[in-house]
């Protein structure tokens, strides 16, 4: 159900990143919650992208100051969810994830929720992580207490193309790799649980300045748990094999080199390998805000429903 014309019961909310994996599910959720939603898009999207939701469109991008001004005009809350997760160069990450966040922050008259990443906790690991941290810092400098930084962990769920590769591998290969050590912990969150937290943040008058979300299991999963559940979700019983660090980093170097030669950004780069090899992507009690619920979707339930969506849409 779309918000009523002229203003939903919760007022106006402006959204960037509305056509991405998270945004395609966030926009209809905001409409159902009674918000009058306005979104920034590069071009008019295909019909039905957000289901029955019909948000107001502003055509433009993060470099277009006029479009950004129209987007945020009269908005009680701005949800800045746009960002790059893969790029050819460090400067490309910073142009979007850092400069883009700062540019829109200068135009916000109400509150802003910056959808960052748990990776921002470790900015030295990758250009992506550094750019997300820089975006947080820049937006905070502009908005101060009117900013909430939301740091979700790795997000998965229906419609996600980045984790699709994991399930394709699990469906086709009798062997699945364990990229991290046995002590590594990785928090994961289903996209709908992430959206639930964003809705909570948008509705609150005084949300916390920084919220780190841990999904259904803030202490995180080890790689064996993740790969075992992925194998079960596709109906296979794969053998799990640890991948030595030099092999993983070498493969990432080759992937990054090929991306540079082909001019096509790759998700698997040396920076991403360092993120994968990092031992602690858990969320501690000191980081999380107790007033916000943890994710309700277990890994088994989430992986199963994600695989079902992939199969129903011919992706798997």
Q: Which residues pair with 41 in a beta bridge?
A: 59
Q: Is the pTM of this model over 0.75?
A: yes
Q: Which fold has domain 152-190+214-281+297-316?
A: UDP-galactose 4-epimerase; domain 1 (3.90.25)
Q: What is the mean pLDDT of the chain?
A: 93
Q: Where exactly are the structural domains of the chain?
A: 152-190+214-281+297-316
pLDDT in tens, 121-172: 999 999 999 999 999 999 999 999 999 999 999 999 999 999 999 999 999 9
Alpha carbons within 13 A on the beta-carbon side of 207: 24
> Across residues 85-106, what is the average pLDDT?
96
């Amino acid at each position: 159900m779309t918000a009523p014309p002229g203003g939903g019961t919760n007022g106006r909310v402006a959204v960037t990143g509305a056509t991405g994996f998270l945004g395609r599910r966030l926009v209809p959720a905001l409409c159902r919650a009674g918000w009058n939603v306005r979104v920034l898009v590069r071009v008019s999207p295909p019909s039905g992208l957000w289901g029955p939701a019909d948000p107001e469109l502003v055509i433009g991008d993060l470099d277009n100051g006029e479009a950004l001004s129209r987007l945020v005009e009269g908005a009680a809350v701005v949800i800045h969810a746009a960002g790059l997760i893969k790029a050819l160069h460090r400067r490309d990450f910073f142009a979007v994830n850092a400069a883009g966040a700062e540019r829109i922050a200068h135009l916000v008259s109400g509150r802003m929720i910056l959808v960052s990443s748990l990776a921002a906790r470790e900015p030295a690991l990758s250009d992506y992580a550094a750019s997300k941290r820089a975006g947080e810092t820049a937006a905070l400098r502009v908005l101060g207490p009117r900013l909430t930084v939301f740091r979700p962990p790795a997000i998965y769920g229906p419609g996600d193309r980045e984790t699709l590769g994991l399930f394709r591998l699990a469906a086709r290969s009798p062997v699945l790799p364990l990229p991290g050590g046995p002590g590594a912990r990785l928090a994961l969150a289903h996209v709908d649980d992430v959206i639930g937290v964003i809705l909570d943040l948008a509705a609150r008058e005084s949300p916390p300045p920084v919220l780190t979300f841990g999904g259904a299991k803030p202490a995180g999963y080890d790689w064996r748990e993740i790969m075992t559940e992925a194998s079960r979700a596709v109906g296979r019983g794969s053998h799990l094999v640890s991948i030595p660090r030099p092999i993983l980093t070498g493969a990432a170097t080759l992937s990054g080199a090929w991306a540079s030669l082909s001019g096509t950004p790759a998700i698997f780069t040396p920076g991403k390998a360092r993120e994968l090899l990092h031992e602690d992507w858990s969320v501690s009690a000191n980081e999380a805000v107790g007033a916000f619920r943890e994710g309700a979707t277990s890994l088994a339930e989430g992986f199963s429903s994600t695989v079902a969506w992939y199969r129903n849409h011919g992706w798997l």
